[in-house]
């Protein structure tokens, strides 16, 4: 694991610090908690969900998913506007 990739524990701590849950992310996007969980688990690679999760955590996508390196970071507002 590279030094810039967040570990599962770091992700959990960040979620707690920012008051973010799978339920709140799902409600914001109009998807199920299961869909959000699948993205965190790597079972789904939805760019829309990844962008919204990263924005909610205040990190670039590549901090959570190393295969996202090189993508232009989006702000939380941009990610939310894309789903609206």
Can you give the C-alpha Rg of the chain in angstroms?
A: 12
Q: Positive or negative CA dihedral for 28, 52, 49, 47?
A: positive
pLDDT values of the chain reduced to their tens digit, one per residue, 84 residues: 445 889 999 999 999 999 999 999 999 999 999 999 999 998 999 999 999 999 999 999 999 998 866 555 555 566 555 554
How high is the pLDDT of residue 48?
A: 93
How high is the pLDDT of residue 75?
A: 56
């Amino acid at each position: 694991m590279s030094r810039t990739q967040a570990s599962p524990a770091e992700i959990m701590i960040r979620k707690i610090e920012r008051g973010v849950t799978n339920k709140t992310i799902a409600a914001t996007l109009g998807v199920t908690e299961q869909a959000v969980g699948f993205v965190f688990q790597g079972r789904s690679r939805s760019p829309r969900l990844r962008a919204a999760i990263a924005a909610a955590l205040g990190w670039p996508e590549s901090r959570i998913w190393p295969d996202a390196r090189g993508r232009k970071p989006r702000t939380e507002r941009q990610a939310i506007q894309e789903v609206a």
